[in-house]
Amino acid sequence: MIREISIETRRREEFRDITAEVQRVVDESGVEEGTCLVYVPHTTAGVTINENADPSVKKDIITILAKLVPYHANYSHLEGNADAHIKSVLVGQSVTIPVSGGRLMLGTWQGIFFCEFDGPRRRRVIVRVWG
C-alpha cells in the first residue's frame, strides 16, 4: 500500500514530527508484520528518525546543520538555496522502519521527522507499507 502525506511547512528550516501520520498509514494498510518506507521526493528536504521527547534536540540539529552548511556562502548554485540541497543530502530522503503487531518498531524516544530546509512550502511524503 502506498499513501501520500501532505505537509505545509511554516519556516525556512523546521523539523516536523510525522510519526502519528505514518502510523495511521500503517493502521490503514492492515499490515501486522512487515516494513514501512518513508520517502521525501524533494531535493531541499529530507526525513530522519531521532528523539521526539525533548524539542531542544530538533533545535540543536538545525543549529549545527546551519553552522556546518551556512545559508549564505560562496555557492555556485544561484537560486539562493544551495545550503538546503546540501542539508538534504546530509539528512537523506528516506527511512525504513520495521512493523510488528501493526505498530512501527521505533525506540522509546524515537520519532519520524520531516526536515524542511527551504520553506515555507507545500511538501509531499510518500509512505509505502508492505508485509
User: What pLDDT, on the 0 to 100 scale, is given for residue 84?
Assistant: 98
- Provide the pLDDT for residue 78: 86
What superfamily does domain 2-130 belong to in CATH? YjbQ-like (2.60.120.460)
Radius of gyration of the chain (CA): 15
d(CA 120, CA 118): 7
**Where do the domains of the chain lie?**
2-130
Walking along the chain (131 residues) 10 residues at a time, the average pLDDT comes out as 98 98 98 98 98 95 97 92 98 98 97 98 98 96
Among 6, 95, 8, which residue's Cα sits nearest to residue 47? 95
Task: Tell me what pLDDT residue 32 has.
Answer: 98
> In 9-93, which ranges are E strands?
14-17, 33-39, 45-51
DSSP state of 60: H
Q: Look at residue 22 in the predicted model and tell me its pLDDT.
A: 98
